[in-house]
Amino acid sequence: MYISNLEENISEELKLAEEIWIAVGLISINALSPLEHLNAQIHILVGIDLPTPPIVLRRLLEWAIQGKVKFKVYTLEGTFFHPKVYIWRKGSVLKAYVGSGNMTNGGWKNNVELFWQIEKVLECHKLVNWFGVNMAMGIAIDEKFIKNYEMQVFKPSKDPSIAHRKRLRNFKINYESDYDFYFRKEDFDAFTHERAITDNLTAKQARKIVNRKLLALHYRIFPKLQEKGVDLHHHHKSQNIVSSFAHTARNSKTLNGMWLYYGKSPDEAAAHPAKNDTEKSMNNHVRLQLIIREDTVGIWCAVGKGGGSRIDRNYFQRKMEVEKNQQYFFSLLKTLGDEYFVELAGKQPYFLKDIKTPQQLFHIIVQDRGNLEYYFIIGMNVLPNDERLLDNRLESFVLKEFEKLFPVYNFFKAPVK
């Protein structure tokens, strides 16, 4: 069945809906009114090619922060996002409209448009699945995105000229397709300064998505670490396998990174003498970790912060007073590769390729003494577009680097007495 005036049909139906999916190329501010007071769970995917006004993006972002909608923008470079799909569900009943009209007054009632009404449940489910695939390609935006879009692209008084299309392409190139990568631009954007220091719904949700991705990666790589016989353990509480996505009394005021980590068994960590129970937690001992931040993914052997790994660090420093251990540790680090660095005492990293002798390395690592408030890191960082972070390569990349770092981890690891 086809209809030409969407508003006459859908306006009352949406008031009954428990869940709504909307994917359109353009939304106007006045067309948002029918959604404002609904109780449904609403998912919206919108394009910027036509373009959607910044005022609309700000309203949707505001609603997303309030928890009223789940909202993304489709920014895939080289594509023109142009669907008009509206789906709603109440209980097991689904209904969809697919046609020519965007979510504007013109598209819903004033223009001559055509929509096909779909009520077969199987066909509606197919459309919901289609929506999910495309929603995954969209990005969760913030005010920074909107300001850049407003300044660089949005010119409502001008025709879609060659100049406009060039502006749009240059803007979208920063958000171009990265769905072949395990971590996408929105995952790195979760740790921008604006989001790192706040705990509103949007910032927390962005970090929570990264948390879930890291946990999913854990279930891919940890069984293979076990198969290799590597003596590494995850936290005994599943919610702590990945670092926190929310601000708490125990973590930093700035959540500018999140990590998946492995180290001592809970029994090994708890067996060490410590000042308090916090120090007995495995995440306060030497560990291997994969960390994502705003502009890098790191693979590190990390040795504490804020006094963390005190036992391992003191043990390591005592070992390094012996000359043969200095030589062994130097040769051990040199097997890691030129991308690796040593970072400690709050100073800029020392890249291994620039460290030429065991004595030079020793003079660097002794700086950790008296500077336990800083991390002691031996690791590497890669950029978001590094092909080793492609979904089909990340697993083998992390396993390979963890295997390389495991002897370093063991060199730091203080024995249980």
Query: For the purposes of burial, counting CB atoms within 10 Å of the CB of 348, is it exposed (0-12), middle (13-18) or buried (19 or more)?
Result: exposed
Per CATH, which fold does 2-176 belong to? Endonuclease; Chain A (3.30.870)
> What mean pLDDT value characterizes the chain?
89
Q: Provide the whole-model pTM.
A: 0.66
**Of 212 and 78, more confident:** 212
pLDDT at residue 278, rounded to an integer = 59
Q: List pLDDT tens digits, range 372-397.
A: 888 999 999 999 989 999 999 999 99
Q: What is the DSSP letter of 68?
A: S
Beta carbons within 8 Å of 362's beta carbon, 6+ residues apart: 320, 326
Nearest-angstrom CA–CA distance, 196 and 247: 9
Beta carbons within 8 Å of 393's beta carbon, 6+ residues apart: 387
Q: What is the DSSP letter of 287?
A: E
pLDDT at residue 306, rounded to an integer = 66
What is the per-residue burial (b if ≥16 Cβ within 10 Å, else e) of 299-337?
A: bbbbbbeeebbbbbbebbeebbeeeebbebbbebbbebe
Q: Is the pLDDT of residue 247 over 90?
A: no
Whether the bond into 51 is cis, omega within 30 of 0: yes
Q: Is the pLDDT of residue 340 over 90?
A: yes
Q: Structural domain boundaries of the chain?
A: 2-176, 187-412
| Sign of the alpha-carbon torsion through 170, 171, 174, 175 | negative
pLDDT at residue 9, rounded to an integer = 86
pLDDT at residue 205, rounded to an integer = 84
Backbone conformation region of residue 67, classed left if phi is above 0, alpha if psi is from -120 to 50, else beta: left
Nearest-angstrom CA–CA distance, 88 and 75: 25
CA-based Rg of the chain, rounded to a whole angstrom?
A: 26
How would residue 279 be classed by pLDDT, with cut points 50, 70 and 90?
low
Q: How far apart are the first and last CA of the chain?
A: 78
Angle, alpha carbons 60-66-68 (nearest 5°): 65
Q: Is the pLDDT of residue 202 over 70?
A: yes
Beta carbons within 8 Å of 128's beta carbon, 6+ residues apart: 21, 87, 94
The class of domain 187-412 in CATH terms is: alpha beta
- DSSP β-ladder status, 377-382 and 297-302: antiparallel
